[in-house]
């Protein structure tokens, strides 16, 4: 995730001189410095004097890293955490009272097509909110939610969302194969259809329901497929799946957090 953000920031025009990376191993530090042409070093060196610190370690490592860097953070530094399931209160417990923006990004960030939900705690200024949004926008779309529990809903929509689409593409490719196409053709057509449909949905001013109706002529072929989905309660299945996801996000938060 950190590499994706670094790559996005550089390609959006940020000077490499404004970035500094750290990692657990010397190998990653050296690789990242070489690949991106930025400085790298220890966690404390990375935090000394920094205006913005992006925490992108695994959730289980976050407490350890926060305790290590806490003495090196300036009072008005903006902290951005992308660690799944760790709330602002936990980070405040480990770092003290700081401006913290908590983010839930997703894997398409690695190709600049991410979708992230952001929550800012009470200490974040308007300018810092915009800074955090610009940083996450370097790897896709980034939107604020008003209350921290809504990050669980973001997890259910976009955090875990890529996997739902992968499953759907997989199911379409399997069904295409059962209808006689080769695996290669069924899979390529399913992937391109997902890309085409989502690009059209994003670019078009027509709402999503109307776009669907536009390809669903009465008594036509698509109508048969849609009627079958509706009869089998696809919408109910999606709702149940996303409620299960949000509820797991909430319980993981309780397991991983400090409070």
Interacting residue ranges for ligand NAP, rule: CB under 6 A: 1-2, 22-25, 28, 43, 56-59, 61, 64-65, 82-84, 104-107, 159
- The residue behind tokens 């449909």 is 197
Task: For ligand NAP, give the closer residue by CB, 214 or 251.
Answer: 251
Sign of CA dihedral 223, 224, 227, 233: negative
DSSP-H helix ranges across the chain:
2-11, 26-36, 43-47, 59-69, 88-95, 126-137, 150-154, 161-178, 183-203, 208-214, 221-231, 234-256
- Give least dist CB 106 to ligand NAP, A: 5
Residue with tokens 């996450």, as numbered in its chain? 136
Q: C-beta of 230: minimal distance to ligand NAP in Å?
A: 32
Query: Whole-number minimum distance, CB 86 to ligand NAP, in Å?
Result: 8
Min dist CB 102 to ligand NAP, Å, is 11
Pick from 86, 51, 49: nearest CA to 65: 86
Q: How far is the CB of 23 from ligand NAP (least distance, A)?
A: 4
d(CA 127, CA 150): 22
By beta-carbon proximity to ligand NAP, the closer residue of 68 and 223 is 68
For ligand NAP, the closer CB: 91 or 186: 91
Q: Which is nearer to ligand NAP, 62 or 190 (CB)?
A: 62
In this structure, what token pair is assigned to residue 239? 């709702």
Choice between 24 and 111, CB closer to ligand NAP: 24
215, 125 Cβ separation under 8 angstroms: no
């Amino acid at each position: 995730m950190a590499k994706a953000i670094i790559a996005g920031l550089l390609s959006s025009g940020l000077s490499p001189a404004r970035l500094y990376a750290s990692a657990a191993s010397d190998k990653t530090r050296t690789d990242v410095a070489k690949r991106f042409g930025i400085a790298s070093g220890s966690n404390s060196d990375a935090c000394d004097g920094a205006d913005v610190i992006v925490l992108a370690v695994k959730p289980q490592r976050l407490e350890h890293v926060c305790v290590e860097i806490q003495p090196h953070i300036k009072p008005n530094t903006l902290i951005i955490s992308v660690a799944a399931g760790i709330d602002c209160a936990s980070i405040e417990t480990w770092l003290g009272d700081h401006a913290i923006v908590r983010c839930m990004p997703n894997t398409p960030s690695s190709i600049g097509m991410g979708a992230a939900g952001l929550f800012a705690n009470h200490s974040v200024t308007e300018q810092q909110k915009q800074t955090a949004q610009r940083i996450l926008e370097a790897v896709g779309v980034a939107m604020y939610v008003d209350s921290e529990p809504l990050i669980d809903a973001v997890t259910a929509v976009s955090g875990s969302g890529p996997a739902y689409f992968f499953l759907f593409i997989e199911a379409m490719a399997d069904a295409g194969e059962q209808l006689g196409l080769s695996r290669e053709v069924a899979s390529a057509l399913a992937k391109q259809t997902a890309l085409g449909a989502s690009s059209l949905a994003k670019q078009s001013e027509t709402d999503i329901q109307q776009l669907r109706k536009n390809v669903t002529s009465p008594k036509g072929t698509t109508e048969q497929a849609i009627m079958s989905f509706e009869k089998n309660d696809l919408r109910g299945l999606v709702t149940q799946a996303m409620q299960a996801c949000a509820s797991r996000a909430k319980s993981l938060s309780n397991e991983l957090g400090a409070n």
